[in-house]
Structure 1
Amino acid sequence: MTGSLMPLAKTTPTPLLYVRHGQTDWNLEGRMQGGQDIPLNDTGRKQARRNGMVMKDFLPDLGKTADDFIFVSSPMIRARETMEILRKEMGLDPHDYKVDERLREITFGNVEGMTVPEMMVERPEVVRMRREDKWGYVHPEGESYKMVSDRIFEWMSEQKDPMIIVAHGVVMRVLRGLLCGYAPAEIPDLETPQDQFLLWRDGSEAWI
């Protein structure tokens, strides 16, 4: 697929700070996590604490305080745990944030819990079709990247205030695509570190 995504409106709130949830055991094992509610592991909690400490010190560099942002999380356990650790490290009430169902991770359907090597043995057709069109491929009983992008576009189009978002890797990729104009074929390969957070401001992005 060529071309780029329909851009979000110029009124998209800025700045945005995006935190991917910390590591889980399934991340470590390379399992298709998707819609499964897997908690953070010890490394993931350390990553969340790091991001909270760095963010607390970084906001003054933006000329902002935490009160200038809406805090919003995916409803999934790994995202909410990350948000609560983040807010605690920032000296804020850990539980005072919003949750939006549309920020949930992509659903990989009936291949969730499998690693790619396992899929190559048990579901080689899924591996093949994902490689042919990772953007448009709808996982069996699940979603495609495009479907996630559509719901994130709808969600972002409603937002008016600067935000600190905690969600997932695929959500991060499609949001970057919408904000920065990446081509659909590029989006599934965008990096999604868990030990840094993304700053998007005035049309450009940076890792902090």
Structure 2
Amino acid sequence: MSRPALYFVRHGETDWNAEGRLQGQRDTPLNPRGLAQAAGVGETLRFLLGERAGDLAYLASPLTRTRATMETLRGVLGLDPAAYATDSRLVEIGFGAWEGRTWRDLRDADPRAYAARNRDRWGHCPPGAGAESYAMLLDRVRPVLDGLAGPTVMVAHGGVARAVLVATGHATTAEAPHRDIWQGRVLVIDAAGHRWV
């Protein structure tokens, strides 16, 4: 299936990112470095899109860290910071009872669950309410991608990026959980393939 060009942006850094904590669907704000990353992404998009920037659709996860990233980059592009859409299907993967913990905490507290996750990163679902596997995340993200009518700037999360890579055929389910998803850069997915800018 041919899809319109997608300019995917992972939200800027939060204090929990800096501490290595699983944020999942917790609503954490950007830290100063994250705000600077968002402004830098705006500059990258200005370079990539030029005068076309105002012609694209802009879509974000509704969490605070993604909205702040979107509003900052739109400001850099000279666009109304608030004139974009949100979609709750783009929120980060739910880590359930693991949210707020580090991987080291989890490994030490429950080595069996940690090992199970490492055996099947795509299919593993953590314990607790709201938890999801990457497979479940893909099921809610794919319809968003299928509904894009034209070139789009999307601001979401690392887990969502991994689902997007699988949905667009740029990673397998075995590869995607191991892919680095960068903050402060743009993942371009278009007819030429995919690349980080």
How far has the Cα of 1:203 moved from its partner?
A: 4.7
How far has the Cα of 1:150 moved from its partner?
A: 1.1
Task: Name the counterpart of 2:174.
Answer: 185
Alignment of 1:1-208 (within 5 A): 9-10=1-2, 12-13=3-4, 15-60=5-50, 65-141=52-128, 142-208=131-197
How far has the Cα of 1:58 moved from its partner?
A: 1.9
**For this pair of structures, how many residues does the alignment match?**
195
- Between the aligned partners of 1:48 and 1:89, the Cα distance in structure 2 is 9
Q: Structure 2 counterpart of 1:51, which letter?
A: V
- Between the aligned partners of 1:97 and 1:124, the Cα distance in structure 2 is 43
- Between the aligned partners of 1:105 and 1:137, the Cα distance in structure 2 is 15
After superposition, give the CA deviation of every residue in 1:113-150 in whole Å (9 maximum; x if it has no partner).
Answer: 11111111222222111101010001112000010111
Contact 2:170/2:194 (<8 A) preserved: no
Q: Structure 2 counterpart of 1:66, which letter?
A: A
Give unmatched runs, 5+ long, in structure 2. none
**Identity level (%):** 38
SS of 1:75's equivalent in the other structure is: coil
Give unmatched runs, 5+ long, in structure 1. 1-8
Q: Please list every run of at least 4 consecutive aligned residues from structure 1 whose deviation after the TM superposition is greater than 6 angstroms.
A: none
| RMSD, matched Cα | 1.2
